[in-house]
């Protein structure tokens, strides 16, 4: 069975600080996909990144970077030089090829608050 | 480019009343479609998904139902709402079973 754990319920940082959001996953499949979504106060989930299990290269997109480590089943997300607009709930999600359901298994989310 | 629409944005309904939420996708063909509910406390729960017209899979038994009358239209319904149906309902689409899902703006439902 799939499981995604985001142990950090809430994080608060001051603007310009770096912040890392943790994500640990469980799956029995060797082929799977990991995702990060951002949910600002407006409510709409915004897709940030998709990573497949065979690509362990870290990715950087502007101030965002992702660290995928299969050895520890983690897919952590770092925001560099955080800004107030980064305040949102961030979800990590997992999709594998097992079972009949075609779904994402979401973590419980991390509420990030960036203070000015 | 693809866009996904949901309406209404907010809805207040009395217990026992019917429900119909609509979701439409533009700019793609034969998408996978999904309905999620997000209760207070953030957890996202998959309710239904569809891989084609008339094909609906239910993930959680409840008093809700879904239909897909057209390729890019997904409807969430209830004949009689319960208080526990209150929440934030999100529709999403994806190209296939392994692609990322793109979400609509959501409908905030309050059952009174």
- From B57, B42, B3, select the one nearest A37 (Cα to Cα): B42
Provide the pLDDT for residue A66.
95
CB pairs under 8 A between A and B: 54
Rg (CA), chain B: 13
Tell whether B99 lies on the interface with A, counting CB pairs under 8 A: yes
Tell whether B55 lies on the interface with A, counting CB pairs under 8 A: no
Is B92:B29 a contact under the CB 8 Å cutoff? no
A75: tokens are 């897919």
- The answer to whether the CB atoms of B49 and A50 lie below 8 A apart is no
* Band (A58; pLDDT cuts 50, 70, 90): confident
Is residue A78 scored above 90 in pLDDT? yes
- Mean pLDDT comparison of A27-31, A70-74, B37-41, highest-scoring range: A70-74
- The answer to whether the CB atoms of B44 and A91 lie below 8 A apart is yes
> For residue A5, what is the enclosing H or E element?
strand A3-5
- The answer to whether the CB atoms of B106 and A44 lie below 8 A apart is yes
| Average predicted confidence (pLDDT) for chain A | 92
* Band (B97; pLDDT cuts 50, 70, 90): confident
Quote the minimal CA–CA distance from B15 to chain A in Å.
Answer: 24
Is residue A100 scored above 60 in pLDDT? no
The chain A residue lying nearest B5, using CA atoms, is A44
**Distance set, CA B29 to CA A85, A102, B20, B26 (Å):** 34, 18, 23, 8
């Amino acid at each position: 069975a799939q499981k995604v754990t985001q142990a950090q319920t809430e994080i608060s940082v001051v603007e310009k600080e770096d912040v890392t959001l943790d994500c640990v996953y469980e799956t029995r499949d060797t082929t799977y996909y990991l995702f990060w979504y951002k949910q600002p106060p407006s409510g709409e989930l915004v897709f940030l990144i998709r990573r497949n299990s065979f690509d362990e290269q870290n990715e950087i997109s502007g101030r965002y970077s992702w660290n995928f480590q299969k050895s520890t089943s983690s897919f952590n997300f770092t925001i560099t030089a955080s800004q107030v607009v980064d305040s949102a709930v961030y979800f990590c999600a997992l999709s594998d090829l097992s079972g009949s359901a075609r779904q994402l298994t979401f973590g419980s989310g991390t509420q990030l608050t960036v203070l000015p | 480019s693809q866009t996904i629409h949901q309406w209404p944005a907010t809805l207040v309904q009395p217990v026992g009343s019917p429900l119909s939420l609509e979701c439409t996708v533009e700019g793609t063909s034969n998408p996978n479609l999904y309905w999620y509910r997000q209760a207070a406390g953030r957890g996202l729960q998959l309710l239904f998904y569809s891989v084609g017209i008339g094909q609906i899979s239910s993930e959680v038994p409840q008093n809700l139902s879904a239909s897909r009358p057209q390729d890019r239209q997904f409807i969430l319904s209830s004949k009689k709402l319960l208080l526990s149906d209150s929440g934030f309902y999100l529709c999403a689409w994806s190209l296939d079973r392994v692609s990322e899902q793109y979400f609509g703006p959501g409908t905030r439902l309050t059952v009174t």
